[in-house]
Amino acid sequence: MEYGSITAAAGKYGAKILYNERIAKYTSFNIGGECDVIVFPNSAECIAEIVSLCRKDGIKYYIFGRCTNVLISDDGLRGVVVMIDGDFSSVRREGNCLICDAGASMTKICTEAKNEGLSGLEFAYGIPGSAGGCLYMNAGAFGGEMKDVVKYCDYLDTDGNIKRMENAKMQLSYRHSVFCGSGKVILSICYELTEGDKDQIAAKMNEIMTKRRDKQPLEYPSAGSTFKRPEGYFAGKLIEDSGLKGYRVGGAQVSEKHCGFVINRENAAFADVKKIIQDIKDRVLDDSGVELECELLVIE
């Protein structure tokens, strides 16, 4: 595959570009092989041009944020990975809104909200994804979700035009948005917040982070909750009831701290995680009749 046009576009914008780079070190699972090209865009125009060149030249491309909800093959990915991350991550205040580039981390956005005395995003403190990834998945925790705080976003449509969409049109529901599988690229997000007390916001965020540390296996690489919450159940409880706590396949393991997490216990291969996910699904279906659905996205 020829990537000359992508190299030239990255050069034009001064965007970082890497060739034959293992993607594992950019993922929260620490899994994933060599990718042909990884570009780290630094502006909306740069994203638009790279995506449009890929479309024009018939190059397969992938849009990622901080890779905290993906499991990527050990064979890596052919084509272009557009990693919308820290190089495109400005955050600014306008009234009671924060307007954030898609690559801004949720941690950065929450910290900014706290520093500005803006309340509403406390629930999201500790979600390790990017603003774009969190909107794409309608990420949520501790009783809140992106749906509650997003006012509008700017995105690149499949014809290469930059457009604005209001919350009501985003079809935000449990771990789903209109962006899922649509080919649209989220460029920036406006969060509508309310004035609050800085100390109270900080205290709430600290409380939430403590709960995360107590309950989640943050000491191991993972992609967060492996499965969606099935209606009327908790995935972790179903998995624990099936006797799978600590179950291992190669280097992958059902966390002993929280059975809803598959962790990379020790140099897990892509195949180890795929197999353990299938084993869990089979066992839980047999034992309780509940069909677990993956929350993390498997990319191969």
C-alpha–C-alpha distance, residues 268 and 161, integer Å:
40
Considering the candidates 119, 130, 225, 255, report the single residue annotated as catalytic: 225
By CB under 6 A, is residue 63 in contact with ligand FAD? yes
By CB under 6 A, is residue 44 in contact with ligand FAD? no
Considering the candidates 49, 112, 122, 295, report the single residue annotated as catalytic: 295
Tell me whether residue 175 is one of the annotated catalytic residues: yes
Do the Cβ atoms of 151 and 165 come closer than 8 Å? no
Query: Site for ligand FAD (CB under 6 A): which residue of 32, 41, 120, 132?
Result: 132
User: Do the strands 97-101 and 91-94 form a parallel or antiparallel pair, or are they unpaired?
Assistant: antiparallel
Angle at which helices 44-57 and 4-13 cross, to 10°: 170
Q: Quick one: 229 or 248, whose CB is closer to ligand FAD?
A: 229
By CB under 6 A, is residue 100 in contact with ligand FAD? no
Q: Quick one: 66 or 114, whose CB is closer to ligand FAD?
A: 66
Do the Cβ atoms of 129 and 171 come closer than 8 Å? no
Tell me whether residue 295 is one of the annotated catalytic residues: yes
> If you count them, how many residues does the chain have?
300
C-alpha–C-alpha distance, residues 115 and 12, integer Å:
35
> Number of residues in contact with ligand FAD, rule: CB under 6 A?
32
Q: Which two tokens stand for residue 52?
A: 């449009």
What percentage of the chain's residues is helix, strand, coil (to nearest 5)?
Answer: 30, 25, 40
Query: Site for ligand FAD (CB under 6 A): which residue of 9, 24, 28, 44?
Result: 28
By CB under 6 A, is residue 224 in contact with ligand FAD? yes
C-alpha–C-alpha distance, residues 78 and 60, integer Å:
7
By CB under 6 A, is residue 70 in contact with ligand FAD? yes
CB of 182 to ligand FAD, least distance (A): 8
By CB under 6 A, is residue 102 in contact with ligand FAD? yes
SS3 at position 113? helix
Tell me whether residue 22 is one of the annotated catalytic residues: no
Q: Whose CA is closest to 137, among 170, 89, 165, 111?
A: 170
Q: Quick one: 141 or 259, whose CB is closer to ligand FAD?
A: 141
The catalytic site residues sit at 175, 225, 295
Contact footprint for ligand FAD (CB under 6 A): 28, 63-70, 84, 102, 127-130, 132-134, 136-137, 139-141, 179, 185-186, 216, 218, 222-224, 297
